[in-house]
Amino acid sequence: MKNISKILLNIILIITLSINIFNKLYDNKIVIIALLIYLGISYAMNGYRRPNKRDLLTTTLVIFLGTFLTISSFYFMGTFSEFSRNYSFIFYKYLKPSIWISVFIIVILTEIIRYITCTGPKGSKLTTRITYISLFIIFLLLDLCLSKKVLNVSSFNNMYEFFALTLCASLTKNIFLMWVTRKNGYMPCLLYRLIIDLYVYFLPITPKANMLIQACMFMLLPFILYKVIDGLKVEREMPKASDIRKRSWDRIETVILLIIFIILAGLVSREFKYSMIAVGSGSMTGTVNKGDAIIYERYNGQILHEGDIIVFKIDNTLIVHRIYKKFFLGDEYAYMTKGDANQSVDNWIVESNMVVGQVKKRVKYIAWPSVWINENY
């Protein structure tokens, strides 16, 4: 009966937070009151257990170093682009302190609730699983309350920004924090939230970083911290030789996956020498098909020849076509282009300042998900 009551309590909180978000109320007072009531009832149901202090110092130190280095790297990126004022500047200068203080209260209540509910008595496998799923939804909704972002499918960019910067980052973060809170309590979780989620309230500027790179940094951080903390724990427990070999292979696989992920993120971000884009039309079918991705080298004035496949911009749209004819236009080269599957030459002239890059590699099929989303939304 107690487990059913926990699930019902979670559902009530989910409904309350959903109303606050999807009606765009974003009222922190409602959230704080709901969390206080929920905390009181949860405490009565679950009680309070003292956090396990074993490895607490190591976990806290790893989290501090990892989060601090991530934010430092994020701001270092701003030296290559530029900075802009974030909303913390507005909060401090124009709004009452109660606005940003309420955010801190919500974060503190969230982590205490996370600890009490995640370390409380367990029921059957089914009720425990349902409880954890509903808790996970609660923590996602609380992140949405603080970010004040809700899914918007009015454009692909809005949907992409929501999933990349808000939802995916919240998913990986909450998985990690639920693991940490069961291991060492709520203090390391509060430290993580203080640095990663609340830095905007201390720093008046934020880098104008590429959205994909920013999303990858905050999605990968919890995974890396988990691997480091868990690895240190295993080494201290003096595992068997077979476990050591297995652990070594796990580390190698993790490093390989991280390298692949970082390379793909760098390519798709278009911030470096080589970039990747999806091909969404059939004008180059046979050479580059719809649903393929191409890797191109950024154009920096290098010599292009007839027959080269280039990426260029027409009306803010990237197009991948082959150079059909090269000629001088004033003091610079200009190009007539043609899709390999098209019957006629393109009805535009591509000037040098319109060229984005030169195609170097085709990767088959991997861009179909992106093409499908663009076509349907």
Amino acid identity for residue 242 in this structure: S
CATH code for the domain in which residue 365 is found: 2.10.109.10
Give alpha helix (H) positions in the chain. 2-22, 28-46, 56-77, 87-94, 97-118, 125-147, 156-161, 168-184, 187-196, 211-236, 241-269, 368-376
Q: Both 147 and 279 in a single domain?
A: no
Same domain for 26 and 39, yes or no, is yes
Q: Residue 94: its pLDDT value, please?
A: 47
Shared-domain flag, residues 264 and 133 = no
Whether residues 216 and 355 share a domain: the answer is no
**Predicted local distance difference test score (pLDDT) of residue 160:** 53
Q: Is residue 97 located within the same domain as residue 202? A: yes
Shared domain check, 173 and 299: no
| One domain for residues 268 and 347 | no
Q: What is the model's pLDDT at position 205?
A: 75
Q: Are residues 184 and 265 in the same domain?
A: no
CA-atom Rg of the chain in angstroms = 25
Question: What predicted TM-score, i.e. pTM, was given to this entire model?
Answer: 0.69
Identify the domain boundary among 186, 220, 237. Answer: 237
Tell me, yes or no, whether 268 and 278 share the same domain: no
Handedness of CA 315, 316, 321, 326 (dihedral sign): positive
Exposure class string for 22-39: b at 16+ Cβ within 10 A, else e: eeeebebeebeebbeebb
Taking CA atoms, 37 is separated from 9, 24, 32, 113, in Å, by 10, 22, 9, 11
DSSP result, 197-229? TSGGGT-SEEE---HHHHHHHHHHHHHHHHHHH
Among the three residues 182, 213, 237, which one is the final residue of a domain in this structure? Answer: 237
Range of the domain at 264: 242-272
How would you class 354 by CB atoms within 10 Å of its CB: exposed for 0-12, middle for 13-18, buried for 19 or more? middle
Q: Domain check: are 90 and 177 in the same one? A: yes
Q: How confident is the prediction along the chain (377 residues), in pLDDT tens digits per residue?
A: 677 888 899 999 999 888 887 776 557 888 899 999 999 999 988 888 888 788 889 999 999 999 999 888 888 877 766 676 655 554 555 455 667 788 889 999 999 999 999 887 777 788 888 888 999 999 988 888 877 654 444 444 455 556 656 777 888 899 999 999 998 999 999 999 999 888 877 777 777 766 667 777 888 889 889 988 887 765 555 555 555 565 666 667 666 766 666 666 555 556 678 888 888 889 999 999 998 888 999 999 889 999 999 999 998 888 999 999 999 988 889 999 999 999 999 999 999 999 999 999 998 887 776 667 666 65
As given in the structure block, the two tokens for residue 50 are: 């003292």
Of the candidates 275, 260, 163, the residue with the CA atom closest to the CA atom of residue 219: 163
Residue 318: phi, psi to the nearest 5? Answer: -80, 130
Spatial contact of 280 and 319, defined as CB atoms under 8 Å apart: no
3-state secondary structure of 359: strand
Query: Cα 45 to the chain's mean position, in Å?
Result: 35
What is the count of structural domains for the chain?
Answer: 3
Nearest to 229 by CA among 159, 169, 182: 182
Q: How many CA atoms lie within 13 A of 41 on its CB side?
A: 16
φ and ψ at residue 363, rounded to 5 degrees = -120, 115
The encoded tokens of residue 209 equal: 């970083």
Q: What is the DSSP string of 82-133?
A: -EEE-HHHHHHHHS-HHHHHHHHHHHHHHHHHHHHHHSS----HHHHHHHHH
Kindly state whether residues 364 and 295 are assigned to the same domain. Answer: yes
Give the pLDDT of residue 26: 59
Answer yes or no: do 161 and 308 share one domain. Answer: no
Q: Is 138 within 8 Å of 13 (Cβ atoms)?
A: yes
Task: Name residue 283's amino acid.
Answer: S
* Structural tokens at position 220: 């990968």
